[in-house]
Amino acid sequence: MSEPDLHPDTVAVHAGREGLAELGVHALPIDLSSTNPLPDIERGGDSYEALTGGRRPPEGGSNVYGRLWNPTVARFEQALAALEGADEAVAFASGMAAVTAAVLALCAATDNRHVLGVRPLYGGTDSLLAGELLGVEHTFCGMDAVADEIRPDTGLVIMETPANPTLDLVDIAAVVAQAGDVPVLVDNTFATPVLQNPLAHGARLALHSATKYIGGHGDVIAGAIACDAETAIALRKVRTATGSVLHPLAGYLLHRGLATLPVRMRAQQENARVVAAFLRRHPAVSHVYYPDDDTTGILGTQLRGPGAMVSIGLRGGYDAAERFTSRLRIFTHAVSLGGVDSLVQHPAAISHRHVAPEARPGADIVRLSIGLEDAGDLVADLEHALG
């Protein structure tokens, strides 16, 4: 059966595993080669030309060199593309490497050297654009002002939904309509392909910090972009030139993580629902940011579930946040998210520290990444920390 005929849970398990029987193996193979034998000078040169140009290895050619192409990483890319409903996917050494490649490929390497960022955004993306390190101009705006901020030289619109850390929901199709012919990149890290597929709503690129839910176990750093074939070629050219290639072992771990992604995501989401309901009743909590109470119509249409991230505002501001994070026993006080264990972080102090003050999360906001522990144990830990 073809992938469109299969449930996403089945695709998550089987995509990218084609041809394993012919290889005589069942588990995913790992090719750790840093260099590859060349069949002869001419075909080696043809292979090098194709790969440095962002294309795939030619028939009868060679993978040439690990910075250009790796079959283990390519299998993961194929699987992620299938889950996102994309032509292709391109994997990178980190999520920030993926964002950087998108800006370089679609803006810095073209005449369209303006990037429009729709706030709120992940702090790393926000500060990358604001820092003007990539030779492009930038503008920030809200989700309703995209059309007003589009310029003749705008090459890319970057947005995130659910947004980090306040879980704001943004209508992808509405932003795409405002952007017109300008490509829209959607950071899909919080939702994952299990809960949201940005390309189905008109986005050109779906970005993942694969470090998070796709890896799922806190043991890999990676990024990936699912997109059309033409954009994939441009992204691979940047990846080759900048050396932001994903290590094969990381590609293997991510591909293995995809198989359990739907199960993990749904289980963590159910824990998050329990946690959010408890926090809404607690007098020390002034606000709960969790989109299960969405009234925009995005949840249930664009977004298939509220996910497993919960942020809260604490009465008492920064001092309360300091006490809260230090008293937790099951939640680990650490950056990142999306793993099997629960984490807590203060965004204004860490991930969003370098965001401009007007866009920085409040000092009272704490972000929770809900894991796979028993929901009752998590609630008890939160109750103790808030006590």
Q: Distance from CA of residue 149 to its chain's centroid?
A: 25
Kindly write down the DSSP assignment for every residue of 120-189, as one continuous string. Answer: S--HHHHHHHHTT-SS-EEEEE-TT-HHHH--TTEEEEEEESSPTTT-----HHHHHHHHTTS-EEEE-T
Of the candidates 273, 252, 206, the one whose C-alpha atom is nearest the C-alpha of residue 28 is: 252
For 368, residues 6+ apart whose C-beta sits below 8 A from its C-beta are 275, 309, 310, 311, 312, 331, 342, 343, 344
**Angle 123-130/95-103 helices, nearest 10 degrees?**
40
Euclidean distance between CA atoms 131 and 120, whole angstroms: 16
For 18, residues 6+ apart whose C-beta sits below 8 A from its C-beta are none
Euclidean distance between CA atoms 43 and 255, whole angstroms: 30
Q: Catalytic: 273?
A: no
Q: Catalytic: 237?
A: no
* Structure token pair of residue 274: 């329990």
65, 75, 113, 122: the catalytic one is 122
CB atoms within 10 A of CB 301: 11
Euclidean distance between CA atoms 117 and 67, whole angstroms: 30
H helix intervals, 160-299: 172-179, 192-195, 229-242, 248-281
126, 171, 187, 364: the catalytic one is 187
Block residue for tokens 């094969």: 248
43, 55, 67, 360: the catalytic one is 67
* Structure token pair of residue 165: 């850390």
Q: Catalytic: 187?
A: yes
Q: Catalytic: 289?
A: no
For 335, residues 6+ apart whose C-beta sits below 8 A from its C-beta are 343, 345, 350, 351
Euclidean distance between CA atoms 17 and 255, whole angstroms: 9
Euclidean distance between CA atoms 160 and 93, whole angstroms: 20
| DSSP one-letter code for 114 | E
Q: What is the dihedral of CA 198, 201, 205, 211, to 10 degrees?
A: 0
212, 236, 237, 273: the catalytic one is 212
Active site residues: 67, 122, 187, 212
